[in-house]
């Protein structure tokens, strides 16, 4: 399938789309005012320890304290250990390849030079667990839990679970300083999720200083090559401990380049510890790449045919990044879009983005899906809609469910929906058909890089699944709560609003004590309903309260807003006196 990456940039926001064929598969969006912090490394301070939750809240300098579970805690070396490092200078925010040009240990070594910017690049994708022979996908997520390899070693240390794990109050105390990495963006009312299991990615390997383990990407399928890579990495393990994960890009790479990558990442870790020891808490120690280079790093693989970008500056940055960090041979696939037409319009993406926000998603067969997102979970309801089939009811239901399984996973990926997800398929009588739908789901999930767990379909046609969530979904990113419905998704009916107006009228008259009339300002729809549809109720209210009621339309008011002005009764005029006034004659002035 033809794959393309389309980059749409502006001064307000940047959008990166991954196209598979002509369809929008993924959309990454970042506002110029709110950059993503996943992968950032902070020095934080513990502000609260919760034994009952086996968790702690850590101040890392954000508006809300970050959350860290006991399984994410690793005891950072003491300050004395942290300062016992090489003579290399600490790495600053935004360091690039040029910052290491004068390093004598890097001179003439293309392996280390190729990953000199790795401190800026936390691994893009999470670990996929469940493979018995190798438990690693291409790139583990920053701070992701590292599982044991086929030797079965390191599971307790990696997963952070088990009877030997100490309690949170035995590890952390209030006011303690910790080195942490953000593994999940602040979402909704929740703060960021952090971990002290730091992951440092290189070009060919990922260094996990808190887990003594060697793993190989399961995407490297040749057993001879896997054995060769494992032997090279095991022979080059760091003296100060830690483990490594061999990335897919390492396949076919020379021993010299791999060892250079490993040595460099070891120094990066020691430099991070040195900077951590000298920095106050809370403070940011390093940032991840911006959305453009981060997306290129994560999405631009050898099976991507083109990268089209609409900004000259970003085009040059991508070319430089591909040449220095990724694969130079991919440089020819990066193109600059020129012309006045918006780039998303040029490739038909704008319409697909709008569809990604719709509650109802139509299937090609005529059926449709209904997405409902709540605080706790997301539900997907499958309906046959206009599809009536040609033979039996069971076959019609099966075809709808099979298509719904594929589209559901595609939509979850496009909308970046995570957490608990329930898919309500149409009931199927035959167990073999339920199995086919489950297999279709499993096949569709293979295209999604996010870690996903799917349970068996129940007899009621329900599928429970979870999808890894690290950032806000598409709906949260580009929408805001409705000012009329307060984010509920529904508004009060005209009947309910009209009844509320009548209650407010009685309330205002009672509070005023005396009133001769009322002036009402309200939205046009509500005003028209009270004049016509509910005119009888208004007439009864006038008679009962003994007041006049004047209704005026105001287009500036929202649906559920209105104003009531009480008109006080006029006071009677004072009567003029009726008695005759005595006239007094003035004495003439004396001459």
pLDDT on residue 392 = 87
- Number of residues that make up the chain: 591
Q: By mean pLDDT, which of 26-35, 41-50, 55-64, 166-175 is the weakest?
A: 26-35
pLDDT on residue 16 = 95
229-240 pLDDT per residue, tens = 999 999 888 777
Q: Taking Cα atoms as reference points, which of 202, 270, 255, 200 lies closest to residue 225?
A: 255
267-304 pLDDT per residue, tens = 878 888 888 888 899 988 877 778 898 888 878 877 89
By three-state DSSP, how is residue 341 classified? Answer: coil
Q: Does the structure show a pLDDT above 80 at 149? A: no
pLDDT on residue 578 = 62
Q: Does the structure show a pLDDT above 80 at 142? A: no
DSSP assignment of 248-315 equals GGGTT--HHHHHHHHHHHHHHHHHHHHHHHHS-SSEEEE----HHHHHHHHH--TT--EEEES-HHHH
Q: What's 41-289's CATH class?
A: mainly beta
pTM score: 0.70
- Report the alpha-carbon distance of residue 459 to residue 127 in Å, rounded: 31
Q: In this structure, are residues 504 and 497 in contact, taking their beta carbons and an 8 Å threshold?
A: no
Residue partners of 547: CB distance under 8 A and separation at least 6: 509, 515, 516, 517, 518, 567
**Across residues 347-355, what is the average pLDDT?**
92
**162 band by pLDDT with thresholds 50, 70 and 90:** very low
223 vs 148, more confident: 223
Please state which architecture CATH assigns to domain 494-567: 3-Layer(aba) Sandwich (3.40)
Q: Does the structure show a pLDDT above 80 at 76? A: no
395-420 pLDDT per residue, tens = 999 999 999 999 999 999 999 999 99
Domains 41-289 and 494-567 share a fold: no
pLDDT on residue 288 = 77
Residue ranges covered by each domain of the chain: 3-33+295-350, 41-289, 357-478, 494-567
As a CATH number, domain 3-33+295-350 is 3.30.420.60
Percent of the chain at pLDDT > 70 equals 80
570 vs 548, more confident: 548
Q: Taking Cα atoms as reference points, which of 254, 330, 333, 326 lies closest to residue 297?
A: 326
Half-sphere exposure of 546 (CA within 13 A, CB side): 6
């Amino acid at each position: 399938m033809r794959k393309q990456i389309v980059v749409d940039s502006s001064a307000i926001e940047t959008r990166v789309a991954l196209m598979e064929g002509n369809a929008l598969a993924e959309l990454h969006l970042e506002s110029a005012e709110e950059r993503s912090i996943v992968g950032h490394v902070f020095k934080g301070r513990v502000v609260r320890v919760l034994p009952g939750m086996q968790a702690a809240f850590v101040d890392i300098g954000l508006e809300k304290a970050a959350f860290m579970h006991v399984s994410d805690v690793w005891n950072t070396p003491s300050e004395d250990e942290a300062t016992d490092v090489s003579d290399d200078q600490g790495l600053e925010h935004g360091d690039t390849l040029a910052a290491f040009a004068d390093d004598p240990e890097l001179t003439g070594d293309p392996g280390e030079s190729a990953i000199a910017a790795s401190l800026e690049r936390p691994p893009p994708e999470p670990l996929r667990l469940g493979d018995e022979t190798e438990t690693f996908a291409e790139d583990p997520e920053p701070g992701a839990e590292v599982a044991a390899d086929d030797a079965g070693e390191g599971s307790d240390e990696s997963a952070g679970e088990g009877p030997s794990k100490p309690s949170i109050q035995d590890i952390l105390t209030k006011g303690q300083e910790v080195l942490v990495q953000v593994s999940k963006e602040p979402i909704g009312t929740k703060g960021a999720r952090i971990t002290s299991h730091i992951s440092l990615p290189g070009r060919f390997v990922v260094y996990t200083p808190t887990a003594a383990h060697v793993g190989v990407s399961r995407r490297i399928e040749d057993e001879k090559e896997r054995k060769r890579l494992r032997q090279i990495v095991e022979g080059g393990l760091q003296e100060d401990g830690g483990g490594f994960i061999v990335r897919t890009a390492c396949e076919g790479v020379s021993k010299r380049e791999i060892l250079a990558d490993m040595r460099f990442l070891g120094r990066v870790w020691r430099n991070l510890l040195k900077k951590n020891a000298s920095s106050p808490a809370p403070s940011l120690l390093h940032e991840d790449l911006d959305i453009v280079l981060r997306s290129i790093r994560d999405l631009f693989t050898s099976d991507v045919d083109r990268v089209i970008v609409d900004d000259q500056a970003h085009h040059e940055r991508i070319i430089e990044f591909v040449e220095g960090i990724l694969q130079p041979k991919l440089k020819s696939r990066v193109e600059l879009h020129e012309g006045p037409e918006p780039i998303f319009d040029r490739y038909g993406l704008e319409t697909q983005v709008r569809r990604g926000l719709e509650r109802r998603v139509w299937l090609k067969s005529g059926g449709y899906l209904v997405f409902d997102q709540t605080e706790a979970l997301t539900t997907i309801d499958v309906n046959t809609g206009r599809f009536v089939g040609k033979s039996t009811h069971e076959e019609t239901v099966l075809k709808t469910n099979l298509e719904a399984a594929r589209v559901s996973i595609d939509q979850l990926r496009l909308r970046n929906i995570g957490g608990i997800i329930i898919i309500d398929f149409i009931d199927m009588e035959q167990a073999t058909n339920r199995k086919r739908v489950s297999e279709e789901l499993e096949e569709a999930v293979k295209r999604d890089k996010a870690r996903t767990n799917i349970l068996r379909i129940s007899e009621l046609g329900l599928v429970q699944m979870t999808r890894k969530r690290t950032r806000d979904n598409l709906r949260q990113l580009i929408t805001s709560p409705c000012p009329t419905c307060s984010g509920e998704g529904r508004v009060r009916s005209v009947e309910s609003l009209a009844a509320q107006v009548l209650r407010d009228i009685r309330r205002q008259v009672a509070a005023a004590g005396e009133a001769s009339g009322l002036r009402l300002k309200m939205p046009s729809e509500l005003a028209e309903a009270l004049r016509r549809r509910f005119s009888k109720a208004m007439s009864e209210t006038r008679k009962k309260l003994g007041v006049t009621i004047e209704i005026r339309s105001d287009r500036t008011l929202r649906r559920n807003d209105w104003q009531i002005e009480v008109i006080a009764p006029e006071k009677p005029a004072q009567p003029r006196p009726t008695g005759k006034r005595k006239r007094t004659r003035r004495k003439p002035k004396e001459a």
